[in-house]
Amino acid sequence: MSQVIDPAIQAAVQSLQDPQTGKTLASEKAIKNLQVEGGDVSLEVELGYPARSLHADLQKQIIDTLRAVPGVRNVSVTVRSRVVPHAVQRGLKPLPEVKNIIAVASGKGGVGKSTTAANLALALDSEGARVGLLDADIYGPSQPMMMGVSGQPQSRDGQSMEPLENYGVQVMSIGLLIEADNPMIWRGPMATQALEQLLRQTAWQDLDYLIVDMPPGTGDIQLTLSQRVPLTGAIIVTTPQDIALLDARKGLKMFEKVGVPILGIVENMAMHVCSNCGHVEHIFGAGGGEKMSRDFGVDYLGGLPLDIRIREQADSGRPTVVADPDGAIAQSYKSIARAVAVKVAEQGRDYTAKFPTISVQNS
């Protein structure tokens, strides 16, 4: 027999809002196990995205809201996050041990894509997710330096490679398998095959998200990867500059053509704040990323400043999110990471694991 709950308590519960999305928790089906015994109320909240930094404030908001209901004395609230696998392109299956793969891409180089990918991976980790980072830039791998990892990956079974780990993030890159000064003089098919091996022969360990730092551009390698890698979605990184936006549009259209949802646009180097006087200047233009998001009907995830500290911290192997976790720039990365995770949570779920494998045998 279902429990009859006081209408005033029910109304208060129905009014509770998700601080990240602004939607009601009830509409997101995040309210679990609501129990009322006399003046005691208990419930659980299960968010579909990692948001450790929001849990305490959300818990307090719920307690304050319910205690305001006449007759309610004690309120017990548990807030947690649970990330589940979501659907990928038609004809592909998610990787074992990886719930969701997110491509971070740009139409051209030099827009800060790799720095953004590293900081987003670290931001998701700081919010409580298990995260991996695959450096898919065969010709210019930079993630080993940015993430402060070095040395050859080891193999426990002779068939797969163990990812290196730093700051809680699992990392794999072709840069870990070659000498630092050796150029990769490979044609497209060889590079694509190498990347697929890196992706599938790395022993990723129970990842909620694998961030793939894609090679810049929209050529054969990028197209083949977007067709063969089981992607939950893609993030487009651009600067406000017109020529960067022109190429970013091509990258966005490439993902659309192969059925990969666009999670949103990140505008890097959106403005420069003078370290001496605080004057804000839009060196590469203003509002380009927001206009592009409106033109294509996708989310504008946020803008990041042109700041020397981002470059210095990445070069030193301690990206901003770990070098200055409480700083304004790190908070911007975390806000973008939560927005990305929400967009992933809104995608259709993956149900392939629920279907039995059917084999046909001659008898």
Q: What is the pLDDT of residue 363?
A: 42
- In this model, does residue 261 exceed pLDDT 90? yes
Global pTM value: 0.90
Residue 167 lies in a domain: yes
Mark whether 265 and 152 lie in a shared domain: yes
Q: What is the pLDDT of residue 184?
A: 56
Q: Residue 140 is part of a domain; what is its CATH number? A: 3.40.50.300
- In this model, does residue 328 exceed pLDDT 60? yes
What number is the average pLDDT over the span 255-280? 85
Mean pLDDT of the chain: 87
Residue 174 lies in a domain: yes
Mark whether 69 and 134 lie in a shared domain: no
Q: What is the pLDDT of residue 1?
A: 41
Mark whether 197 and 109 lie in a shared domain: yes
What number is the average pLDDT over the span 216-225? 77
Residue 91 lies in a domain: no
Mark whether 203 and 255 lie in a shared domain: yes
How many domains does the chain fold into? 2
Mark whether 62 and 206 lie in a shared domain: no
What number is the average pLDDT over the span 3-17? 88
Who wins on pLDDT, 118 or 359? 118
What number is the average pLDDT over the span 317-333? 95
What number is the average pLDDT over the span 73-79? 95
Question: Any idea what the Cα angle at residue 315 is, between residues 313 and 321, rounded to 5°?
Answer: 30
Binding residues for ATP: 107-114
- Which pair of tokens denotes residue 201? 């022969």
Q: Residue 75 is part of a domain; what is its CATH number? A: 3.30.300.130
Who wins on pLDDT, 77 or 109? 77
Mark whether 309 and 265 lie in a shared domain: yes
Tens of pLDDT along 276-290? 777 777 777 677 788
What number is the average pLDDT over the span 77-103? 92
For residue 243, the Cα-to-chain-centroid distance in whole angstroms is: 26
Residue 29 has a CB neighbour count (10 Å cut-off) of 9
Q: What is the pLDDT of residue 195?
A: 81
Tens of pLDDT along 179-197? 665 555 555 566 677 788 8
Q: What is the pLDDT of residue 185?
A: 55
Mark whether 118 and 77 lie in a shared domain: no
- First and final C-alpha spacing in the chain: 50
Residue 306 lies in a domain: yes
Residue 159 lies in a domain: yes
- In this model, does residue 343 exceed pLDDT 50? yes
Q: What is the pLDDT of residue 350?
A: 82
What are all long-range contacts of 17-22, with beta carbons under 8 Å and residues at least 24 apart? 17/61, 18/47, 18/58, 19/54, 19/57, 19/58, 19/61, 20/47, 20/49, 20/51, 20/54, 20/338, 20/339, 20/342, 21/342
Residue 288 lies in a domain: yes
**Whole domain around residue 301: which residue ranges?**
98-345
Tens of pLDDT along 129-152? 999 999 988 777 889 999 999 988
Mark whether 77 and 102 lie in a shared domain: no
Q: Tell me if 265 sits within 8 A of 249, measured CB to CB.
A: no
Mark whether 167 and 220 lie in a shared domain: yes
Binding residues: 107-114
10 Å CB burial of residue 181 (0-12, 13-18, 19+) is exposed
Residue 90 lies in a domain: no
Of the candidates 108, 115, 109, 140, the one whose C-alpha atom is nearest the C-alpha of residue 307 is: 115
Residue 165 lies in a domain: yes
Q: What is the pLDDT of residue 359?
A: 47
Percent of the chain with pLDDT over 70: 92
Mark whether 152 and 241 lie in a shared domain: yes
Mark whether 260 and 323 lie in a shared domain: yes
Mark whether 67 and 119 lie in a shared domain: no
